[in-house]
């Protein structure tokens, strides 16, 4: 399944994770297929296996969330909660 454009491997991997999170969240583990995730991204399902090894490993990686907290040293103490919540919701 080719989209006719060159792909950047790290970006493609990230795109697969985004699509997998959406599918797993909407359809659950059992109903989500690698073919569906691949179709959402426009790649061959074999590429998902190449990057992640299996559906189980894709799920495990998709289920990990990194918040990457911002530097709060310059943030007014009264604004810390707002800064953290906005970062949390951006990731979630």
Q: Is the pTM of this model over 0.75?
A: no
Residue 3 reports pLDDT greater than 80: no
Distances (CA, A) of 65 to 5, 89, 91: 29, 12, 8
Task: Give the pLDDT score at 6.
Answer: 59
Q: What is the pLDDT of residue 5?
A: 56
Q: Which domains does the chain have, with CATH numbers?
A: 9-66 (1.10.10.60)
């Amino acid at each position: 399944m080719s989209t006719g454009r060159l792909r950047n491997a790290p970006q493609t991997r990230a795109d697969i994770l985004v699509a997998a999170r959406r599918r797993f969240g909407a359809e659950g583990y059992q109903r989500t297929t690698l073919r569906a995730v691949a179709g959402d991204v426009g790649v061959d399902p074999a590429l998902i296996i190449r990057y992640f090894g299996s559906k189980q490993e894709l799920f495990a990686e998709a289920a990990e969330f990194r918040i990457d907290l911002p530097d709060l040293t310059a943030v007014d103490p009264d604004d810390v909660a707002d800064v953290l919540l906005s970062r949390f919701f951006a990731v979630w």
